[in-house]
Chains A and B, each alone.
Chain A
C-alpha cells in the first residue's frame, strides 16, 4: 500500500518546463530517494508537495487526493534553517508550537529525544554555538517531532563537509532502522542515495522525468566494508552510468557539459 503517489505531475514556470512527467510512489515505512543533477527541479517537486506551489497532474496520499498539504509532511531544508534567536530546545519545538501545543507540553515531548539525537546537554545553547552536524541533527529532530506521516528531506547534508556528511548518513541510516519513518529524500549524491534508500528514482536533466526506478536490495544495517559495500559500489557505478550516459548516445547529452 503506497502512502504517497504522484501521477504525471508537471510544472512549468512561464515557458520553462521544469517537471515534465513525474510519477512515483512511496510505501509506508519506505525510504525513497530522488536523485538528479542540480537544477533538475527536485526542490520544485517538494514545493508542490508542501503546497507552496501548484502544478498539474495528480497527487494522492493514502489513496485520497492531496489537499491539506501541511497535515502529511514534515519538511527539512538543505540549510538547517534553525532560528538563531531561539535556543535549540525552542527551535526543536517550533513545529509543535505551530500546531498549537503549549510550550510546556511541547518541551516535555521533545526532551527525551535529545540524547538519541546526540544533542543532550545542548538544549539551552543557541544554534551558533553548535557544529554543522549538530545543527543538522537538531533540524532533523525538529522535523520528526512533528509526527507527520512522512518526512521530506531536501539535500539535508548538502551544506556539510565531506566527513561530517558521511557520519551523518551513517547516523541517519541507523536512526531510520529504529523509527522506520516514511521518507522521501532529495539528493544529488549517488552514494548517499544508495546508502540510505530502499528505492531510488533517477531524474533526467530539465525538464525532469523519471529516467529510471532502481531498487536497492542491500541488507541493513549498511555498515562500511564487506560484501554489501561491494554491491553498493556496483550499484553506484550503474546509477552514475544512467545519469551521465542517458540513452545509448556515446556523447554526453546537452545540459551536462555546460554546468
Chain B
C-alpha cells in the first residue's frame, strides 16, 4: 500500500503540527537566554549568548567533529555490548526464572554506583582507550535494557502461549513465536531511555580521562575559561542524543508496523 501524495503531504503537515509546540518552546527559551546574556551585563566568559556559542561552534567545528567521533564510537560500541549482554541474560532469566533472584540484586547494586567515583577508577584500570568508555556506557544502559526485556517477555498474553503449546510448540518455539515479539514494545521503550543514558555515560568516561572525545573537550574548554566552547560541545552531544533517539523511534516504526494498525483500530471491517 503506497500512500498517495496528498495523504503524504497531510502526514507531513501533521508532523509539523506535532513538532510546532516543541520548536516554539525551545525557540522562546533560546531567545530569553540571548536577551538575558546581551542586556544583563553578565560577561560572556560567564554566560555566553546562544549566538556566540553557535558562532564559536562553527569556528571550531573541525575540533568538535574530531572529538565527537570517538564519543559516537564509544556510545555505539558500548551500547551494542550492553544490548547483546542484556539479550543473552534476559533469555537465561526467562528460561531459568530462579536466576532472576540470584542476579537482579547484583544489577540493582550496579545501578547505585555513583558514576563520578566509578569513571576515574575504570580509567585507572583500563587506560585512556576505548575500553573504559565502552564499559561505562554498558554499565549505565545494561540494566534498563535487561529489565525492559524480561518484563516484555512476561507481558506475553497467557492465552497465546496456551494456544501455541496446544499446537505442540516447545518452550523455544513459544519464546521465538510469542514471547520475543511480545517484548518488542518494552524493548523499544527501554531503548529510547537507554540511548540517552549511553551518550551521557560515554561523555562521563571521557571526562575522567581520554585522549579525545567530547568529554575531554569540555574539560579542556572549561580549564581554558571558555564556557562558550563547553556549551558548544554540550550542543553537539544533545544533537547526538536526539539523533540516536530519533533512530530508535524510526527503528520501532519499522520493526512494529502493526502499531499503526493498533492506533487506527477504529476503522474496523464488518
Contact = CB atoms under 8 A, between A and B. Distances in A.
Interface in B245-270: 256-258, 261-262, 264-265, 267-270
Nearest to B264: A129
B166 A75 contact: yes
Nearest to A75: B166
The listed residue with most A CB atoms (<10 A of its CB), out of B160, B167, B178, B270, is B167
Contact of B166 (A74, A83, A128): A74
A13 interface: no
A65 B157 CA distance: 31
Contacts of A52: 162, 165-166
Main secondary structure of the interface of B (DSSP, over half): helix
A125 B269 contact: yes
Nearest to B261: A126
Interface string A187-210: 000000000000000000000000
A77 B167 contact: no
A70 B265 CA distance: 34
A94 B177 contact: yes
**B: contact size bracket:** 20 to 34
Given A50-B165, A83-B160, A129-B265, A134 B184 contact: no
A73 B173 CA distance: 18
Contact of A85 (B163, B256, B264, B268): B256
Interface of B: 157, 159-160, 162-169, 173, 177-178, 181, 184, 256-258, 261-262, 264-265, 267-270
Given A83-B177, A94-B177, A126-B261, 18 more contacts: A52-B165, A69-B166, A70-B167, A74-B166, A74-B167, A75-B166, A81-B157, A83-B181, A85-B184, A97-B177, A98-B167, A98-B177, A128-B258, A128-B262, A128-B265, A129-B267, A131-B270, A134-B268
